[in-house]
Structure 1
Amino acid sequence: MAEEILEPDLPIIDPHHHLWDLRPLVGAFPEPLHPFVAALVDAAYYTFDALYADTHSGHNVIGTVFMECGAFYDSSRGDALKPVGEVEFVNGVAAQGASGLYGDYRPCASIVGHADLTLGAKAGEVLDALQAASQRFVGIRHAAAWDADPATLGPPFHHPEGLYLDAKFREGFAELGKRGLTFDAWVLEPQLGDVLDLARAFPEQTIVLDHCGTPLNIGPYNGTLGEHFARWRNSIQALGECPNVSVKLGGLAMAFCMMPEEGPAAGIGSGKLAEMWRPYIETCIEAFGPARAMFESNYPVDRWGASYPALWNAFKRITTGASDEEKHQLYAGTAAKVYRLENLLGAS
C-alpha cells in the first residue's frame, strides 16, 4: 500500500544516486549471490526513465547529483581515461533533463566522476579530461571500502587496504585542491580513522563522507550493530570536528548495513525505517550540524530495503522537530553548497 507523502512541497536535492546498465553482467557473479549483488541485479537497468519515475513518486525532488559507479566507461581510451566515458554519458542525461521537457527538474545537475588517484600527480591529467568532458563535473569519488573477510563486500569490490593512507594516493589527492574539486569518501565503519587522517592532512580539501560511514550488519558483522555503535559514534564525532568534512545521511538501507535485513525491495514502511535509522541520522546531524549534512537516496542501491517514497518519508519523520532552516539545509542547502547547485534553489 502506497504511503501518503509527508511534506510534499519540501524542496529536495538528491545528492547521491547512480545510473547504469548491469544487464550484460547478470549471470557472471557466482551463486549464491552476495546480498549486495542481489540488490544490483534487482535494479540492473537504471537510467533516466527509472530515475525520473523514482524522483517523481511524490516528493519534491528539484535536482540530483550523479555519483560515479563505473558505468559506461569508454573502452576506446587507455585505462586511466576510461572513466571520462561515464561523465560524458551522464552529461547527456543531464542535458535531457535541462531541455525543459520535464519542467524545472534537473537530474544529474552536478556529476561526481572517478579518477585513479594512485596515479599520483599524473591523476591531474585525468581530472583535466573529466573537467573538459562536462561543465557539470564537480569532483570525484575514489572508494576505499575494504575488509579482510570477502563475505563482507562480495565480488564487485577490490579496494586495497589502507588506500587513503597511501603516499601515492595522497599525491594524486593533492591534485583535487588545485582544481577546486570535491572528494567523496566511501569506506566501511572500521576504516573511518583513515578518512579522519586524510581530512586532517588536507584541511582545505572538501571531503564528503558517504552513507553515514557505512555501519556494518553483513557477513561476519551480522548482529553486531549495537556492539559497534559506540565505536562508530566516536569516529563520527571526531570527523565532525573537521570543518572540511560533510556527511551524507543515508545508505543505511543498502545490504552492507542491512537496516532492514529483509530485501531486496522489502516494502517496509517509513515508520519502521525511521526507528532503525534515527540513532545514526541524529548522531551525524549532531556531530556535523545541518550545514554540513545532507540526506541522500543512494538509489538504486538502497532499494534493497526502502522504496524511494518510503525512504524520504523516513527521513522526514526523523526531522519532524527540525526548524524550517534546518530542513532547508538537510534536504537541499548543504548539497547545493557542496556541489555548486545554488541556482536550483532560486528556482524552487
Structure 2
Amino acid sequence: MTVDAHHHVWDLSVRDQEWIAGPELQPLRRNFTLTDLAPEARAAGVDRTVLVQTVTVPEETPEFLALAAAHELVAGVVGWTDLTRPDVADELARLRELPGGRYLKGIRHQVQGEPDPEWLLRPDVRRGLAAVAEAGLVYDLIVLPHQLSACVRAAASLPGLTFVLDHLGKPPVASGAPEAWACDIRALGELPNTVCKVSGLVTEMDPALWGGTTWPLAPLRPYWDTALEAFGPGRLMFGSDWPVCTVAATYAQVSSLVGGLASDLSRDERAQLFETTATRVYDL
C-alpha cells in the first residue's frame, strides 16, 4: 500500500483561499473535499494520507483534526500555529487535546511568503521551532529556492527537530538553472534530521508540457537524481500535492510520474519512498 504524505482540502464557503489567484489557478477556485479525494487515492493504491495546512489561520488546524478523526483515509495532519507566540508550547498542547488531536503530526508555516529570506533564523521563530521539537512533532518546510540556505542553518541548529522539505524545495524546473538549488539540497541532505517530499513537481514544470496523457521524465530527472543522492531513498517520501496538482495533472498521473522516476529503485527502496518513510516520520 501507499501513503500520500502531502495533500490539501478546502471549502470556499468556510473561508477563501486568497492564494488562489490568476488565470492559471482558476480551476482550483472550487471546493475540494475528502469525498473527492478518496476514490482517486484508492485507485492509486493509497490507503493513508497526510493532510497539510493551506492558510495561516488558527481555525484551520482544529477543522483538519476533526476531519482526520472522522475519515479513516487521513492518518495525520500537518497544521499551523503562530510559532512566534510566547505561549506556543501551550497552544500545541491545546491542539493535541482537541477532538482528533492525536492526529496532529507536524506544523507548517508559509515561509515561501515571508519577505525575509532568513525568517526561520529569527530568535522568536527558533524558539517556536524548539517547542515543536519538544512536543514530539515535525516541521514541514514550504520554501522557495533562495530560502534553502536558511533551512540548512535552521536544521543544523535544531538537531532534535525533524525538518520535512516539501516539494523538493520548489526546484527551478522551468528555468533549468539547478546549480544553486542543488548545492543547498546537498547541504540539507547532509543533516540527519531532514527528510524530503517528492511532491509538487508537475506545477514547477514548463506549462507547455501540461495537459498531456503522459509526462516526460527528462525535465525532472536531474532534480530527482539530486534529491535521491542527497537524502537516499530512506529519507524521501511521495506526496501528491492534490488538488494543487490538478492544474497540471491528475492524481493518477502524479502517482505514475513519481513511480517512473523511482523505477530504478529496489523493491525495498520503493517501499520506503511510497510508505515506510512517511509512516516513520509522521508516526502514522
Which whole-Å CA distance do the structure 1 matches of 2:19 and 2:151 have between them? Answer: 30
Which whole-Å CA distance do the structure 2 matches of 1:241 and 1:35 have between them? Answer: 39
Which whole-Å CA distance do the structure 1 matches of 2:124 and 2:17 have between them? Answer: 36
* AA in 1 matched with 2:103: R
2:9 matched to which residue of 1? Answer: 19
Q: Give 1:185 deviation, angstroms.
A: 0.7
1:257-287 C-alpha deviation (Å, 9 max, x unpaired):
2x14149xx4323342x23222212211111
Q: Give 1:38 deviation, angstroms.
A: 2.9
Q: Give the SS at the match of 2:241.
A: coil
1:96 matched to which residue of 2? Answer: 70
Q: Give 1:27 deviation, angstroms.
A: 11
Q: Percent identity?
A: 32
Tell me the TM-score normalized by structure 1.
Answer: 0.75
Q: Give 1:39 deviation, angstroms.
A: 5.0
Q: Give 1:161 deviation, angstroms.
A: 4.2
1:183 matched to which residue of 2? Answer: 139
Which whole-Å CA distance do the structure 2 matches of 1:35 and 1:122 have between them? Answer: 40
Tell me the TM-score normalized by structure 2.
Answer: 0.91
1:92-111 C-alpha deviation (Å, 9 max, x unpaired):
3323333xxxxxxxx22111
User: How many residues align structurally?
Assistant: 282
Q: Give 1:70 deviation, angstroms.
A: 2.5
Q: Give the SS at the match of 1:65.
A: strand
Q: Give 1:67 deviation, angstroms.
A: 0.4
* AA in 2 matched with 1:307: T
1:55-83 C-alpha deviation (Å, 9 max, x unpaired):
13x31101000101128x5xxxxxxxxx2
Q: Give the SS at the match of 2:192.
A: coil
1:59 matched to which residue of 2? Answer: 44
Among 250, 255, 270, the alignment partner of 2:214 is: 270
Aligned pair in 2 of structure 1 residues 174, 231: CA closer, same or farther (>3 Å)? same
Matched, 1:45 2:28: no
Equivalent positions of 1:1-348 (< 5 A) are: 11-22=1-12, 33-34=21-22, 37-41=25-29, 44-56=30-42, 58-70=43-55, 83=58, 85-98=59-72, 107-119=73-85, 121-133=86-98, 134-146=101-113, 160-216=116-172, 225-226=175-176, 228-254=177-203, 257=204, 259-262=205-208, 266-272=210-216, 274-341=217-284
Rg comparison, structure with higher value: 1
Aligned pair in 2 of structure 1 residues 303, 235: CA closer, same or farther (>3 Å)? same
Q: Give 1:143 deviation, angstroms.
A: 2.3
Q: Give the SS at the match of 1:45.
A: coil
Unaligned runs of 5+ in 2: none
Q: Give the SS at the match of 1:127.
A: helix
Which whole-Å CA distance do the structure 2 matches of 1:28 and 1:190 have between them? Answer: 23
Which whole-Å CA distance do the structure 2 matches of 1:195 and 1:29 have between them? Answer: 23
* AA in 1 matched with 2:71: G
1:306-331 C-alpha deviation (Å, 9 max, x unpaired):
11111111111111121000000000
Runs of 4+ in 1 over 6 A off after TM superposition: 24-30
Q: Give 1:160 deviation, angstroms.
A: 4.5
Does the 8 Å CA contact 2:96/2:102 hold for their aligned counterparts?
A: yes
Which whole-Å CA distance do the structure 1 matches of 2:115 and 2:277 have between them? Answer: 29
Q: Give the SS at the match of 1:294.
A: strand
Q: Give the SS at the match of 1:276.
A: coil
Aligned pair in 2 of structure 1 residues 29, 215: CA closer, same or farther (>3 Å)? closer
Q: Give the SS at the match of 1:297.
A: coil
Does the 8 Å CA contact 1:270/1:311 hold for their aligned counterparts?
A: no
Aligned pair in 2 of structure 1 residues 159, 52: CA closer, same or farther (>3 Å)? farther
Which whole-Å CA distance do the structure 2 matches of 1:329 and 1:169 have between them? Answer: 31
Across the aligned residues of Structure 1 and Structure 2, the Cα RMSD in angstroms comes to 2.4
Which whole-Å CA distance do the structure 1 matches of 2:60 and 2:18 have between them? Answer: 22
Does the 8 Å CA contact 2:165/2:196 hold for their aligned counterparts?
A: yes
Aligned pair in 2 of structure 1 residues 187, 315: CA closer, same or farther (>3 Å)? same
Q: Give the SS at the match of 1:46.
A: coil
Does the 8 Å CA contact 2:6/2:199 hold for their aligned counterparts?
A: no
Does the 8 Å CA contact 1:90/1:108 hold for their aligned counterparts?
A: no
